[in-house]
Amino acid sequence: MDLQMAEQKVNEIKTLLNQYGYEYYVLDKPTVPDAEYDRLMEELIELEEKFPNLKTPDSPSERVGGKILDLFEKVEHRTPMLSLGNAFNEQDLRDFDRRIRQAVGDEFSYVCELKIDGLAVSLRYVDGLFVQGATRGDGSIGEEITANLKTIKSIPLRLRENMSLEVRGEAFMPKRSFEALNKAKEERGEDLFANPRNAAAGSLRQLDPKIAASRNLDVFLYGIGNAEETVADSHSKGLDLLDRLGFKTNKERRKCKSIDEVIEYVNSWVDRRPDLPYEIDGIVIKVDSYSHQSELGTTAKSPRWAVAYKFPAEEVVTTLIDIELSVGRTGVVTPTAILKPIKVAGTTVQRASLHNEDLIREKDIKIGDQVVVKKAGDIIPEVVNVLAEQRTGSEMDFVMPTHCPECESELVRLEGEVALRCINPKCPAQIREGLIHFVSRDAMNIDGLGEKVISQLFAEKLIRDVADIYKLTHEQLISLERMGEKSVTNLLKAIEASKTNSLEKLLFGLGIRHVGAKAAKTLAIQFGSMDHLARASKDDLIAINEIGDKMADSIVTYFEMEEASELIVELKAVGVNMEYKGARPVSVEDSDSFFAGKTVVLTGKLEQLSRGEAKEKIEALGGNIAGSVSKKTHLVVAGEDAGSKLTKAQDLGIDIWDEERLLAELNK
């Protein structure tokens, strides 16, 4: 296929995918099977890989997630994203109505909308093309999350008209997506998300867009931030315009002529909200006319023309059937209340964390108790208290075990901690969680060896410790469910490639208590090899600025364990690198580099270096990389599309370099 034929085919596929996606994700009226959509997407990706020049910023392939980011840039909102004042009862709503009437008279109407429980976002379009997406942040400055927002299939990458405007909306996780995500996390033994809002926010703040793409997020647009020309004269007409442009808006909105109609609308949703496929935590009421909104104005924090009615927190009574225990990667044993299933604020609650033994005693919780359950902030499941007066005498005290529920090892309570902990390094639960941690992105980063595969391998007794990962064979992997020839080949290549990782990746992957990714790199730089670190004394360790007593004790204890020594020997035997391979920072005293002792801020997109590469090179020459510009900043390196950091640097008179100047200095 030549370039001209490929371009024609790509355009045909993009048109079909955009139409199918709009029908499915915006109109909720799919016209083709999922398999046909997936087939077209695969064909598009293959063509774009073969002809890279044909890939455009509005390609549907952008929705699968791109390269991992180094950090989120700050974005200054052209029009502030204000928060809303709250109303908690009918009187609050009538007081709000009275203030509006005093200001603009009686000839006006309201628009009522469901208050989606998610993350407020801003989307900017130039000539119809989606160019930037950001979080609300503090209302004035948010974080750019364009790559993550592109993975939300209901957000159009190109509008149906070539219009330039900024729109605001609420990104959220549907209940079905939330339940599937937490079920998967529970199967892997990971901490669960407390609610869909946290899950959505956490997904959109991942530096790897593929994670956001896997979470099946959605969005409702609820307003226009600004436009290059007047596009509507009222909020309701603005929403109609968003519909025409291809945005997804919430169709449950209603235009009301009086506060009585508003109150009727609010009351109608108090009982109906559990039936929605997404979470809401209230109703937003806005004055419809833009001219009236302008006349009413805003306070420093919120508009005077809008208010958010918040639903009261719902409390229900159910039976505490049992208390289960789970063992995490670090050995902490956590009790969880198993409840008779009951709906609270729209979701079915069956479990609630009890945190630790002290909380159980403090609330006098017994198995079989009738307990009051609510969602703190109308969201987080919580056992509020027990109804002791309803006890029948059949209730049983809960006693934390003295031995691990997984391996029967004696549990200990470390000094200064309330949690009981299993310290057996061979505990199956800890091993399984440790294996999952070892292959994670910030550790050994073995692509294709996800949590489900690890759990399968562990259940089949094909791996007992991390060294066994490097002994896996083609025959063992091909026998696993959903593992085809290509997947197995790629996985074995990824396992082999991980052997060459620098020491800090391995150190973090070993899961030594208190040693995070940053400390692992500090240790790797300081000691250079696993052998040198293993021989280090506590005094050697605490002599390093970033290493405190607790971490030093933990490191020494780890390397004193016979099991740890045996594991290191095994990893060496299979060829895993034990040396630090990165650049070594030069001390300010020893460096004659321009960067020595200077604070540098990177902003915008660099062409020849990634942000991570530039950071590493500058730090290796004694410089410090900062995330924000201040009077203490010595230099700002500005790439393409540099934003508010560049403006602030100009205002403060700080030196500003382009990438060419940076490279020239680095190459000296």
Just list the catalytic residues: 115
Whole-angstrom CA distances from 87 to 80, 118, 312, 430 are 22, 19, 10, 47
Helix, strand, coil percentages in the chain from 3-state DSSP, rounded to 5: 40, 20, 40
Which residues, in sequence order, are CB contacts of 668 under 8 Å at separation 6+?
A: 594
Place of tokens 């993975």: 151
Q: How far is it, in rounded angstroms, from Cα 494 to Cα 496? A: 5
Whole-angstrom CA distances from 367 to 333, 355, 397 are 18, 16, 6
DSSP for 439-491, please give it. TSTTTT--TT--HHHHHHHHHTTS-SSHHHHTT--HHHHHTSTT--HHHHHHH
Beta strands in 558-605 (DSSP E): 599-603
Whole-angstrom CA distances from 597 to 199, 583, 609, 620, 638 are 40, 17, 22, 11, 20
Amino acid at 450: G
> Are 442 and 516 in contact, with CB atoms under 8 Å apart?
no
Expressed in angstroms, the distance from the first to the final Cα of the chain is: 46
167 SS3 class = strand
Q: In the numeric block, which tokens belong to residue 383?
A: 């056992």
Amino acid at 537: S
Closest Cα to residue 263, out of 426, 401, 112, 116?
112
- Check residue 297 and give left, alpha or beta (phi > 0: left; psi -120 to 50: alpha): left
Q: How many CB atoms lie within 10 A of CB 519?
A: 20
Q: In the numeric block, which tokens belong to residue 63?
A: 């929705």
